[in-house]
Amino acid sequence: MKSKAHYTTEDLRLAYGEIGIRGGDTLYFTGNAGNFGFHESFDKTRTLEAHLASLQSAVGETGTLAVPTHSFSLCNTDHLFDPATTPSERGPLTEHLRRQNGSVRQFHAFASVTALGQDAALLCGNCTRHAYGPGTPFDRMIQRNAWFLSLALPPQHTCSIVHHVEMQMGVPYRYSKEYHQPTKQGDEVRTEAFYQFVTYREADLVRDRNEKIFQHPLLQQTLRSTQVGLGTIWAYHMQDFYQAATDCMSGDIYAWLRQPPTVRPYQK
């Protein structure tokens, strides 16, 4: 009998089918695949290949995969950002996808997304210099009603899409900050400006890890999950999350926080 600490490539393929992913879908995934336990191969490279192959099989030749490929360690340094070589700092599976032939990486020195598949260039090409907001991969994925998959981590802990909603809703405890970073595009090296949607350092913000948002009835009804090995794959459509988070912030602009801050440097 197979131990729950071990899982197979077929287990992954069956799981994505059970969730409801179909050919032609756009799928953004993040998390910690190590929490599933040991893949049947007991080999790191073959494990990464199995995960990527299972996801590609789920969306088919007309589908598109996307992952975070952030490189936040470059921020406020003079280290060069080269989208072709700067590694992802969001885990080996995201770096494995970034290194695939045909992948397209958003040109953002710290908060890039990389896509692979039929519409990779439509998602990650010709973006603004912001991580969130109009003209970014998150905006384009929401328009396409992409899936958001959280691999072996609770979805409340991985939903970076919430910061896109915060920007759209104009939450008062964040602002756009400009950073300048040396970059390389082709053979050209130059310093570029990039923007991050950051919180006010002085504000006494206490995050609630998105608990209130995931209590919204829409997400309660549509959030899907299935077990693989020792972990769980959680999945939801980005448009559902966007609607739920927008509803929450419309009623309470501080819905992302445990309670409204008492120290408000943005208040006059």
Average pLDDT per 10 consecutive residues for the chain, totaling 268 residues? 80 97 98 97 97 98 98 96 98 98 98 98 98 98 98 97 98 98 95 97 96 98 97 98 98 98 95
Do 26 and 116 meet the contact criterion of CB atoms below 8 Å apart?
no
Q: What is the pLDDT of residue 5?
A: 79
Q: Which residues contact 223 (CB under 8 A, 6 or more apart)?
A: 155, 214, 234, 235, 236
CB-CB contact of 181 with 192 (8 Å): yes
Strand partners, 197: 176
Domain that holds residue 213: 6-251
Please indicate, yes or no, if residue 266 is contained in any of the structural domains: no
β-bridge partners, 251 = none
Residues 65/29, Cβ–Cβ less than 8 Å: yes
Question: What's the angle, vertex CA 210, arms to CA 208 and CA 211, rounded to 5?
Answer: 75
Where do we find the tokens 């009998």?
Answer: 1
Closest C-alpha among 101, 13, 120 to residue 57: 13
pTM: predicted TM-score of the whole model, two decimal places = 0.96
> Residues for the chain: how many in total?
268
CB neighbourhood size of 203 (10 A):
18
Q: Does residue 55 lie within any of the structural domains?
A: yes
List, in sequence order, every residue forming a beta bridge with 178; answer none if it has no partner. Answer: 195
DSSP class of residue 136?
A: S
pLDDT at residue number 2: 57
Classify residue 259: in a domain, yes or no: no
> What are the residues whose beta carbons fall under 8 Å from the beta carbon of 34, sequence distance 6 or more?
152
Q: Total structural domains in the chain?
A: 1
Query: Per the domain annotation, does 258 fall within a domain?
Result: no
**d(Cα 238, Cα 142) in Å, to the nearest integer?**
5
Residue 261 CA to residue 107 CA, distance in Å, equals 34
CA–CA separation, 142 and 147 (whole Å) = 9
- DSSP for 75-122 reads TTS-PPB-TTTSPPSS-HHHHHHHTSTT-EE-S-SSS-EEEEETTHHH
Is there a domain that residue 261 lies in? no
Asked if residue 264 is part of any domain, the answer here is: no
Characterise 152 by phi-psi region: left (phi > 0), alpha (psi -120 to 50), beta (else): left
How many C-beta atoms surround the C-beta of residue 202 within 10 A?
11
Cα-Cα-Cα-Cα torsion 248, 254, 257, 262, nearest 10 degrees, comes to -160
